[in-house]
Amino acid sequence: MIVSGHNAGIAWHAEAADAVAARLQVDPALGLSAQEAARRLLHYGPNRLPEARRRSLARMLVDQFSDFMILVLIAAAVISGLIGEPQDTVAIIVIVLLNAVIGFVQEYRAEQAMSALKKMAAPTARVRRAGELLVIPAEALVPGDVVLLDAGSIVPCDLRMFEVAQLQVAEAVLTGESQAIDKSSAALGVE
């Protein structure tokens, strides 16, 4: 498999595998040289999806007060304060503040856990570079890399199949299709 390029104007799936290799200036038997891979990594950047901007701690805390029921409780506290029920007002405010603190702590811990899990589960890819088989972080893949997949491998990026033997890919995460899909190296027609 060859990593497709970043040029969105090219229908990589509709071109013959040899044409894709020629366009990306790579020999599938050898792969890219280390120098060319480094140059392309600088040019195209890492192979990762842009991450959503993380919310600040202040935003997480403020968001604890945006739930409809919390707003109803705050309104009830204001009304009970206006009609002269200070004990009810204090009780409601304490409940709202406790809820906010507990929600904030849980959300902060969940975000930290997700971040740690992402680091632990960082995918890798088997590539052919300068004729050698290497295992590299999937973030280091560049257009033109020759990626080798085995049974059970995670597909680390968009790939143009060059050589395939009974390949099926589970695409449920992308398409919702419950069955694995057969893949081939033949160029697909543009619809």
Alpha helices by DSSP H, the chain: 17-23, 34-44, 57-63, 68-82, 86-120, 172-175
Alpha helices by DSSP H, 46-171: 57-63, 68-82, 86-120
Give the whole-angstrom CA distance, residue 4 versus residue 158. 6
Residue 98 inside a domain? The answer is yes
Q: What is the pLDDT of residues 10-57, one digit of tens each?
A: 777 778 888 888 888 888 888 899 999 999 999 988 888 777 788 888
Q: What is the pLDDT of residues 142-151, one digit of tens each?
A: 988 888 888 7
Closest CA to 103 of 61, 135, 133: 61
Residue 44 inside a domain? The answer is yes
| 24 and 63 in a common domain | no
Among 69, 90, 119, which residue terminates a domain?
Answer: 119
Query: Cα–Cα–Cα angle for 63, 120, 57, nearest 5°?
Result: 20
| 82 and 98 in a common domain | yes
Taking the chain, what is the end-to-end CA distance rounded to the nearest angstrom? 23
Residue 189 inside a domain? The answer is no
Residue 188 inside a domain? The answer is no
Among 95, 119, 143, which residue terminates a domain?
Answer: 119
| 85 and 134 in a common domain | no
- Structural domains counted in the chain: 2
| 10 and 100 in a common domain | no
| 130 and 164 in a common domain | yes
Look up residue 18 and give its two tokens. Answer: 């040899």
pTM of the complete model: 0.59
Query: Of all residues in the chain, what percent carry a pLDDT higher than 90?
Result: 28
| 66 and 151 in a common domain | no
**Looking at residue 120, what is its pLDDT?**
65
Among 73, 94, 119, which residue terminates a domain?
Answer: 119
| 81 and 38 in a common domain | no
Closest CA to 94 of 82, 77, 107, 110: 77
Residue 112: domain span: 57-119
| 111 and 77 in a common domain | yes
Residue 141 inside a domain? The answer is yes
CATH no. for residue 40? 2.70.150.10
Strongest mean pLDDT among 16-20, 118-122, 159-163: 16-20
> Angle between the 68-82 and 86-120 helix axes, to the nearest 10 degrees?
160
| 112 and 79 in a common domain | yes
| 27 and 70 in a common domain | no
| 80 and 109 in a common domain | yes
How many CB atoms lie under 10 A from the CB of residue 3? 27
